[in-house]
Structures are given as C-alpha cells and as structure tokens.
Amino acid sequence: MTDIFISYSRKDKVFTQLLHAALEATGREAWIDWQDIPLTADWWQEIKRGIEGANTFVFIISPDSITSSVCRREVEHAVLHNKRLVPIVHREELNQALLHPALASHNWLFFRENDDFDTAFQALIKAIDTDLEHLHTHTQILVRTLEWEDKGRNDSFLLRGSNLKDAEQWLQQSANKDPQPTEQQKNYISKSREAEDFSERIAQANETAKRRLRIATLVMGIALVTLAAATVVTVQAFQQQLHTKIVNRLEQETDDALEQFDSSQLDGLLKVIKAGRYLQSVVENRSVEQYPTLSPVLALQTILQNIQEQNRIPAHPGEVNGISFNPNRGQIATAGEDGVTRLWSLTGEKLAEIAGHPDEVSNISFSPDGMQLAIAGENGMLQLWDLSEQQLVALRIYPTGLTDVSFSPSGGQVATAGEDGIVRLWSFSGESRQFQGHTGEVNSISFSPDGTQIASSGRDDTIRLWDLSGKPLVEFRGDGSEFSSVDFHSDGTQLAAAGEDGTVWLWNISGEKIGEFKAHPVEVTSIQFSSNGTQLATAGEDGRIKLWDLSGQQLAKFIGHQSGVNVVRFSPDGKQLATAGEDGTVRLWDSSRQASGLEVEQEELSVISRANESVMGNQDDSVRSLSNTDLTTFLQQGCDWLKDYLDTNPAIDERDRQLCGRD
C-alpha cells in the first residue's frame, strides 16, 4: 500500500515531478505510472491496483488532464472505491463543463505559477494526513476485499478473529468519516462475520456431540443401540425430504433460465450457471448417475450450443442512434439520443466520451485508418475528432439536421445526408459539393468500395446513385414504400435497400432489380452486406435482427433488444454483429451461430446408466451423452462466454460478478 496515487497529464510532467519529489522528501510514498508499471504488465490493471492500494487520490487539474480519457478513467475508478479525492489546480484555463463531477464537488488546492508552493504544499499534507488511521484501515480492508473477490470469494481470504473485530469496529465508527466504506467492504465484513459465526456454531455442535456421546456411552449402553436405530430412520426421512427440495429448486431454476434465455441470452446463461454451481456444491465428486437431477447440466449444454449474444453494453440512457466499428483497433463508437458519443472496447469497457452536441447525435463514422471519428448531429453540426489527440480538428454547420455520415474509402472525404433532402460531400482540402435530387429527407448514404460513387436513400421513395461530382447516375424505385437504409455490396456491383414496409430490395448498379423479399413484418431500419458479400444483416422495429443469404433465405435470427433496433453493423472480419436499439443498449453477437429450439421437457428425459458415462435421451430419439466431468466443463465454458459481460457491465450484481471467480 502507498500513501498517495497521483493522476496527471503528461503535459504536466515537470510540475508532477516537483510535487512527487516534495512528497517523498516528507517520507510519503507516491504511486505514479512513470516509474511503477513494469513494461510487460497490463498497464490498466496495474493502474487500478495502484489506485486501490493508495490512501489518497491526488488529481492534478489542468486543461489537458480534464480532457484525458485515461485521467478520467482513473478518477472513475477512485470514485468507484470511495477513495479520498484531493484535486489540485496547476493550470486554470479550464472548461468547467469537462470536469468530472467528483472533482468539481471537492475543495481545490491551488498550485498555480503565481501561488506560493510551500503554503499550498502544507495544505496538501494536511489534507492527506487528516484522519489517517481511518484512511489507512479503509485502504487495508479494500485491498483485502478485492483480493477475496479476485479469488472467487474463497472463505480462506475472509477476516477472522481480532482482524474481524477491528474491521467491525472501524465500520461502526465510519458513519461520519471521509471516505465512506464501500458496499463491497460492508459486504466483505458481513460475510466474514457470517463465516466466523458459522465456524463457531460448528465447533460448539461438535463439542456438544462429543460430550453427549461420552455421557450416553457411560449410562445408556443398550438404549444407545435403540436410539441409533431410531436416528437412522429419522435421518433417512430427512435426507429424502432434503433430496426432494434440492430437485425442486434445481428444476425450477433451470426452467427459469431457459425461459429467460428466449428473451435475454446472457441473463439466461447466468441463471443456469447459478443452478449449475448449486448442483456442483450438492454432488461434490459423485458420478453423474448419483446426481439428484440432470436438468442444469442439460440446460447448460443446450444454451451453450445455441447462445449468440456475446456482450451487452448499456451505452446511453436514451436511444442509441448509430454505431461504427473501428477498422483497426477492436473498438466501437456509439451515438446517443443524449447528445454524447462514446468509445468502447469490444469487452464493454468505456474508453472515451465526447460531448458537445446540444441535440441528438444522429450517426457516426470511423475513418478507414481508425484515427478519426466523424459525428453528425440533428442540429446540423458535423464534428471531426482526432482520437489520438482527443481533440476536435474540424467543425462544419449545416442549415438542417443531419441523418447520416460516412467517410470515403480513401479517408479524404466525408459525406452527409440531410433532412433537407441534400447529400453533401466535404473534402479535407476544403472543397464542398451538394447533391440535389431527393424531394424528401435523405436518411442513409453509402460509398462504393472504390470510392467513386455514393448511393443515397430517401423518404421520397427513391434510391439515387451519384458520382462524386454530384451527377445523378441511376434512380431506383421500390413499390411505393419509403426507404430507410441503403448499402453497397463489397464488389461494388450491387445495392441493397430496406423499406418501411419490411421489404428488402437488391439491384445491380445499372438499375436492374435482382431480388426482393419480406424481411420483417414492420419497418426495416438498417441493412448491411457482410464484408465477403455473401450475407445481408437486417434490423427491424420489431426488435429482431436477421441474417440472410442473397437469395432471401433466412440464416439466423437474433433476439434480445427490448424494443426497436435502430442499426446493425458487421465487424470488419464479419465474425460479429453489433446492434443498437431504442433500449439504450449495444449488443454484440456471434454471426456464425444460428439458434435452434430450446424446449426440453423434464418428464420426457430418461437416464441410462453406463460404466463411466450417463446418456440422456428423449422421446424423439435425440441423445445427449454426459460424462462425469461435463458439469465442470460446461460451467467453465459458460464462464468463459460471460467473462466480458460480468467484468464490465455495471448492471451486474456484485455477487453475480464473482460467480465465476477471477484468476
């Protein structure tokens, strides 16, 4: 453990070195990432441990630190664990709106160039040393709490004896202290007390049993035999009652998990893992033939064979209007109804947040090199952000709202679609063109793979194809339905379009219709070809996502969004689908999996015992083979599948988060 963690921007390194030297001169140990992270370590895990193990979190406020995504993540991790925050101001030319709320709510210490360093430093030392014993215990218990959780909540890592009593006393005295105990710490102390009390009861029971046995042996010779026989009968009845309760609980939990899976796949898998863990605790090392029921094992096997949902990100408080995969970095950007753009890792960890749109962000697009992000707003604002520098590099304002945005394949141009029916092409050289022809709102645009053409779809019942000079080339019409989305095939020879009546159309670029099929019973909101051009993905207002071959044959269906789906996108390698919905979530799916029915009737199953394996079959002659190690194997497979969801989704209960343990 250390005294202080210092969060700073690299541009403030000289001042930070001065502060660090002053702190160490007073005998206080400061954790700073320039010297403490091994080159081969996972840098973010090391930073988190540094924050968790420090008594005080010092944040150096400057125009650069408050816009740094790394610094913001450090603050959020400190806030998550109720760390004492001490903000100090080094450079004051600040945009207050960019300050993390936790920093804005604390008193600041001023270390500006015109401030007396020694006076400010003494104020810092006073803040660091206030209620030091409480602070030290807070850190000590937090570190032990996180270690317990990291080890899968193993009882051997709980507090015992005098350590537990000291922790309980600290918790009782913490009511008006800063920082407050976290819910994790409270739970850790509570679980430690439960384990301690249970151990004491077991010890007392053993001692009582030994004492009674000695007395009985001395005075009740033959009577003891009679009592033992009666006890055997009683125990057998109790065991049968317990067996029935266990079976009923396991089968009910299994039924609940399968029902949940139909509408929320990750939650269904989580529920059946809970049932599997309970079964595992009951059977210990017994063979499959001795399991009280095989329902959880079968359900685990079935769900693992059919699950498609890989992760779920609660991206925005309102609708998610747009998503874009970074072509090179394993990231995804989301555009929200809340006027915010967020950048995520595919594991679900938030990497950055870009505010600045007073209205909704309608859509976003990564540049081909993944280094820039174009953001289109309903207020007509087009922003271009440099992601490496985390700063705005270009801004254009259009007279009406923007509905879509797309980088050209070369990365040198950006096209936008407008509510005024105009497609606009802006070159970074400064040249701008307007493509006019639609008589209603343009809602979707797509560049040809070679970057020489643009397709646009509109509310005027037309799809239009343009060259980059703005010359109209071909006009496509459906059957009178308004179009909602358009996309180029990867070879540039075909277009796919989606309609408000649920229909999908395919044309070659000369204007000949080559396919048409009904995809959804309601509006198809989004459509995209896979990168290899063999499949089409569609999203609908019915909350469904579907995968098709180019003949209109449905290949897969993905269910989970609680309301309409606004957009669907293939990952660059085509192995994943990302979808965004009115429910504020972004979901990642394995695009290669096609779900099948999950109905498993318990009464139809029979168990056939064999030497070292059990076989479970049903009336339709399908057979499932189960070896003695299957429960452990399925549980591990389920935990592996859920890893990202459990690690990063803030809606997960902390007990569920630790269900699989962490190595």
- pLDDT by residue (tens digit) across 489-518? 999 999 999 998 999 999 999 999 999 999
Count of domains for the chain: 2
Type of residue found at 650: P
> Do 233 and 122 fall into the same domain?
no
Whether 354 is covered by a domain: the verdict is no
Q: What pLDDT is recorded for position 37?
A: 54
Considering 95, 130, 165, which residue would you say is the last residue of a domain? 130
State the virtual CA torsion across 288, 290, 293, 294 in degrees, nearest 10. 10
> Do 109 and 6 fall into the same domain?
yes
Burial of 14 (0-12, 13-18, 19+ CB in 10 A): exposed
Per-residue pLDDT at 528 exceeds 60: yes
Token output for 146: 């996180």
Range with the largest mean pLDDT of 144-153, 219-228, 256-265, 597-606: 256-265
Give me the mean pLDDT over the 93-121 stretch: 87
Whether 226 is covered by a domain: the verdict is yes
Whether 477 is covered by a domain: the verdict is no
Q: What are the pLDDT digits (tens) for 115-140?
A: 999 999 999 999 999 999 999 999 99
Per-residue pLDDT at 227 exceeds 80: no
375 within 8 A of 405, measured Cβ to Cβ: yes
Q: What pLDDT is recorded for position 531?
A: 93
Q: How confident is the model at residue 622 (pLDDT cuts 50, 70, 90)?
A: very low
Which alpha helices (H) appear in 153-310, and where do they start and end? Answer: 161-172, 183-219, 221-261, 265-283, 295-306
C-alpha to C-alpha distance for 509 and 92, rounded to whole angstroms? 57
297 within 8 A of 630, measured Cβ to Cβ: yes
In this structure, the chain runs to a length of 663
Considering 100, 130, 160, which residue would you say is the last residue of a domain? 130
Alpha-carbon 250 to chain mean position: 29
Q: Measured on CA atoms in the order 137, 143, 146, 147, is the torsion positive or negative? A: negative
Indicate the range of 140-154, 373-387, 479-493 predicted with least confidence.
Answer: 140-154
Whether 617 is covered by a domain: the verdict is yes
Token output for 204: 């007392």
Considering 130, 159, 181, which residue would you say is the last residue of a domain? 130
Per-residue pLDDT at 189 exceeds 60: yes
Q: What are the pLDDT digits (tens) for 269-320?
A: 999 999 998 888 888 777 778 888 888 999 999 999 999 999 999 999 989 9
Give me the mean pLDDT over the 437-443 stretch: 93
CATH number for the domain harbouring residue 124: 3.40.50.10140
Q: How confident is the model at residue 601 (pLDDT cuts 50, 70, 90)?
A: very low
Per-residue pLDDT at 529 exceeds 60: yes
Q: What pLDDT is recorded for position 661?
A: 72
C-alpha to C-alpha distance for 264 and 389, rounded to whole angstroms? 38
Per-residue pLDDT at 381 exceeds 80: yes
Whether 265 is covered by a domain: the verdict is yes
Residue 299 is part of which domain span?
220-308+604-657
C-alpha to C-alpha distance for 184 and 655, rounded to whole angstroms? 10
pLDDT higher at 210 or 483: 483
Per-residue pLDDT at 101 exceeds 80: yes
> Do 6 and 121 fall into the same domain?
yes
3-state class (DSSP) for residue 86: strand
Whether 642 is covered by a domain: the verdict is yes
Whether 378 is covered by a domain: the verdict is no
293 within 8 A of 614, measured Cβ to Cβ: no
Residue 599: phi and psi, rounded to 5, are: -70, 120
Whether 89 is covered by a domain: the verdict is yes
Q: How confident is the model at residue 597 (pLDDT cuts 50, 70, 90)?
A: very low
Give me the mean pLDDT over the 389-402 stretch: 88
pLDDT higher at 654 or 265: 265
Average pLDDT, rounded, for the chain: 85
Percentage of the chain lying above the pLDDT 90 cut: 56
Q: What are the pLDDT digits (tens) for 54-88?
A: 999 999 999 988 888 788 889 989 998 999 999 99
Q: How confident is the model at residue 655 (pLDDT cuts 50, 70, 90)?
A: confident
Q: What pLDDT is recorded for position 267?
A: 93
327 DSSP assignment: T
Per-residue pLDDT at 563 exceeds 70: yes
Range with the largest mean pLDDT of 11-25, 311-325, 381-395: 311-325
> Do 122 and 225 fall into the same domain?
no
Give me the mean pLDDT over the 553-580 stretch: 95
